[in-house]
């Protein structure tokens, strides 16, 4: 049995990845600081869902990647073969108000992990990066050679973390890979994300709120496609030092998305607009040809199919978020 460390493993992406690793027979160390960025009951449910698979294969460690002593002890006490670094201080908009905290959590945290990984002969280190590193598009879809001009402190911390991963690959031959996620959604997603917020508000008869004119577009990526991309790297050779876009290659405007959710939930609610918020990219759209070529990545879900899957899940699991009703998009 392999031992895999998943940082941020109680979160949306980390817990889905942990479930899949357990299904495939791995022993998983879940490191999470249980940051109350959103209701902690959701993270506890995520962990419980993972442990339902096999409590013997899931070990939960409550702590932060910024705790250097803790990280050192985790690596000393376990023979970790693969690291999936999903943990980060989340939120593009909040990072504009508190850049120092984002720098400490996201950059200092990954440096602690990289140091212990290279000292302990970790086979593969996968870093969850973000399309926010691109910023204002010079052209679309973004390929990995597109200029990096992040428009938020969050995006800057992700780009800095990528550079550190590349450096450790070059200096120490640590097999690092950066995966640039494009707006991930699906079952158990955070309640304050656009899709979960729209669905929740429709079901509860509240108007949908769009910030800006609604013409901004997103390449939304379904969670199972994200998990698939990560799993392809578990035993993949020859991709050390690479950076890969992980998107759906599909995109949709926020206004179209809102209208689609209203239609598919068969509800009669208003769609209203409020002022745009700082830090958001105007458009995102992924060129995934590099990931297709190097790791055989082949996303299964387009945005409409994925949203329908999420709506179906939500209708069967409304108590997952209750009594939480998101109030912003």
Reported as a single tens digit per residue, the pLDDT across 211-228 is 999 999 999 999 999 999
Q: Token digits for 62?
A: 């409550």
Q: What is the pLDDT of residues 108-124, one digit of tens each?
A: 999 999 999 999 999 99
- For residue 322, the model assigns a pLDDT of 65
Task: State the greatest distance between any 2 C-alpha atoms of the chain, in Å, as a whole number.
Answer: 58
Structural domain boundaries of the chain? 3-181+223-246, 185-218+249-283+300-320
Residue in 287, 298, 240 with CA at minimum distance from that of residue 146 = 287
Sign, CA dihedral 273-279-282-285, equals negative
Active site residues: 154
Looking at domain 3-181+223-246, which of 3.50.50.60, 3.40.50.300, 3.40.50.1980, 3.40.50.720 is its CATH number? 3.40.50.720
Place of tokens 């800006």: 212
Least trusted range by pLDDT, from 134-138, 143-147, 284-288, 319-323: 319-323
pTM for this prediction: 0.93
Question: What does the block give as tokens for 268?
Answer: 């009669």
Give the span between the Cα atoms of 243 and 179, in whole angstroms: 6
What is the predicted pLDDT for the residue at 104? 94
pLDDT, mean of residues 7-27: 96
> pLDDT at residue 312 above 90?
yes
Give per-residue pLDDT as tens, 62-92: 999 999 999 999 999 999 999 999 999 988 8
- What is the C-alpha to C-alpha distance for residues 33 and 164, in angstroms, rounded to an integer? 22
User: Which alpha helices (DSSP H) does the chain contain, by range?
Assistant: 12-23, 40-53, 68-77, 92-97, 99-103, 109-119, 153-172, 194-203, 223-231, 254-264, 289-295, 303-316
Please tell me the predicted confidence (pLDDT) of residue 327: 39
Q: Average the pLDDT over 99-115 and give the result.
A: 96
- pLDDT for res 235: 85
What CATH number is given for 185-218+249-283+300-320 in this structure? 3.90.25.10
Among 95, 47, 36, 63, smallest CA distance to 324 is for: 36
């Amino acid at each position: 049995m392999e031992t895999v460390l998943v940082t941020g493993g109680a979160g949306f992406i980390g817990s889905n990845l942990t479930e899949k690793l357990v299904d495939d027979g791995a022993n998983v160390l879940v490191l999470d600081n249980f940051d109350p960025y959103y209701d902690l009951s959701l993270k506890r449910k995520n962990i419980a869902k993972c442990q339902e698979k096999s409590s013997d294969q899931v070990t939960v460690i409550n702590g932060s990647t910024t705790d250097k002593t803790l990280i050192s002890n985790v690596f000393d006490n376990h023979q970790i073969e693969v690291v999936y670094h999903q943990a980060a201080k989340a939120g593009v908009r909040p990072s504009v108000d508190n850049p120092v905290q984002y720098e400490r959590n996201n950059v200092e945290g990954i440096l602690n992990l990289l140091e212990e990984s290279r000292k302990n002969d970790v086979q593969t280190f996968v870093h969850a990066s973000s399309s926010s590193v691109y910023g204002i598009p010079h052209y679309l879809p973004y390929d990995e050679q597109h200029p990096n001009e992040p428009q938020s402190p969050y995006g800057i911390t992700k780009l800095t973390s990528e550079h550190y991963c590349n450096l450790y690959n070059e200096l120490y031959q640590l097999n690092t890979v950066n995966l640039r996620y494009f707006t991930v959604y699906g079952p158990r997603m955070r309640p304050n994300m656009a899709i979960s917020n729209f669905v929740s508000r429709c079901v509860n008869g509240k108007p949908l709120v769009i910030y800006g004119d609604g013409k901004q577009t997103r390449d939304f990526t379904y969670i199972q496609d994200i998990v698939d991309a990560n799993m392809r790297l578990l035993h993949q050779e020859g991709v050390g030092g690479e950076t890969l876009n992980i998107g759906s290659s599909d995109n949709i405007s926020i206004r179209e998305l809102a209208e689609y959710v209203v239609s598919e939930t068969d509800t009669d609610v208003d769609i209203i607009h409020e002022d745009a918020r700082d830090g958001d990219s105007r458009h995102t759209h992924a060129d995934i040809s590099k990931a297709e070529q190097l790791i055989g990545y082949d996303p299964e879900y387009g945005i409409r199919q994925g949203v329908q899957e999420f709506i179906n899940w939500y209708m069967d699991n409304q108590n997952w978020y209750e009594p939480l009703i998101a109030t912003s998009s």
